[in-house]
Amino acid sequence: MRKANNTLKIRRLVQLVFLFTTLLIGAQFYLFVYHLEIGSEKVMSRPPGVEAFLPISSMMTLKYWLLSGDFPLVHPAGLILFVVIALTALFLKRGFCSWVCPVGLLNEYLSKIHVLIFDKPRHVWRWLDYPLRSLKYLLALFVLWAILVQMNAPALHAFINSPYNKVADIKMLKFFVEATPLTIKVLLGLVLLSILVRNFWCRYLCPYGALLGALSWLSPWKIRRNTITCIDCEKCTKVCPMDINVHKPKTVLSDECTACLMCVAACPVNNTLSLAVPKHRWFIKPAVYAAIIIGLFLGTSLVARLFGVWQNNIITDEYRYYIQHLDDYDHARGQARQTH
């Protein structure tokens, strides 16, 4: 129990650090946009970290970079953060979901409400669970098809440098601070569903989670069980927030595993469960995992600043102009879709 509490404390501390950072970035970006809107002479500097919330734009930029060799400076931090997040999945499973993502943290607290209401976790019927889990993969495949198949380098270049893409971060902010009644109803509906069904958004609808889950299959580090020392107590399965039967396989291959390490902490027999490469070598402890996650994001941003590829190349006066024509870009995009 003590080991489980320590693991949870370490992970919660990391989650809160990233939550605080996200809120700080959000507040700074809000003030940046607000100062532009009121025509203030002094404008709060724009935080590049806000681009982490533009994954589709980042995927387009990544493909364009790979095709052309040209590193665009429109939302460059978004591209860098997207690559870092993908690398965490390739080497550390879906650790982004359980150690970094604020939505993942929110879902954990909503799951606590679920347990308070129902006394113990309730599970969706298996015959319904699998079709629902495919929804996030269908969403992810649609996005990947639209980007990887439908768009060539000139089309990507045109989109990346379009006013619509340049103000995507501002449009995202407006989506939340000027939410329509329908948006509020949808968000409240997702909260309610996440209380009734644990991890509803993450498990069934998040296309980002689907992409990271697919990449995590390639990770050499997986939850591995020593069948010789295992006493079949099933405590690992009972604490798994993603409802994985950890006690059955030698290696957990499920794309739902978020490397929260709660199963490892719950195991009463030392060195029986571990996040490790084959043959239980090079296993990663919670404190080390936390240091790697924080180090990756912090170190990457520092290196990007050093090489001058962290800040956006959109000047303040350009942003002033874009803010005055936000609605025009939506209209132009709609016409382009109809023409296409």
**Residue 323, pLDDT score:** 86
Task: Check if the beta carbon of residue 330 is closer than 8 Å to that of residue 174.
Answer: no
**Residue 336, pLDDT score:** 41
236 domain residue, yes or no:
yes
**Residue 1, pLDDT score:** 58
* Domain interval for residue 312: 2-330
Whole-angstrom distance between the N-terminal and C-terminal Cα of the chain? Answer: 59
Please name the residue that has the structure tokens 């909260």.
191
Confidence band of 340 (pLDDT split at 50, 70, 90)? very low
Counting residues of the chain whose pLDDT is more than 90, the rounded percentage is 77
96 domain residue, yes or no:
yes
pLDDT at 334 over 50: no
Confidence band of 6 (pLDDT split at 50, 70, 90)? confident
Closest C-alpha to 12, from 90, 94, 102: 102
pLDDT at 289 over 70: yes
Distances (CA, A) of 158 to 61, 140, 161: 11, 23, 5
**Residue 148, pLDDT score:** 85
337 domain residue, yes or no:
no
Domain total of the chain: 1
339 domain residue, yes or no:
no
pLDDT at 2 over 80: no
Say how far apart CA 232 and CA 229 lie, in whole Å: 9
Q: What is the pLDDT of residues 176-224, one digit of tens each?
A: 999 999 999 999 999 999 999 989 999 999 999 999 999 999 999 999 9
Counting residues of the chain whose pLDDT is more than 70, the rounded percentage is 95
**Residue 160, pLDDT score:** 95
Say how far apart CA 338 and CA 340 lie, in whole Å: 5
The C-alpha angle 290, 210, 74, rounded to 5 degrees, equals 80
340 domain residue, yes or no:
no
Helix, strand, or coil (residue 225): strand
Task: Check if the beta carbon of residue 156 is closer than 8 Å to that of residue 63.
Answer: yes
88 domain residue, yes or no:
yes
185 domain residue, yes or no:
yes
Confidence band of 42 (pLDDT split at 50, 70, 90)? confident
**Residue 51, pLDDT score:** 96
335 domain residue, yes or no:
no
Q: Residues with Cβ < 8 Å from 320, sequence gap 6 or more?
A: 36, 39
Lowest mean pLDDT among 25-34, 122-131, 241-250: 122-131
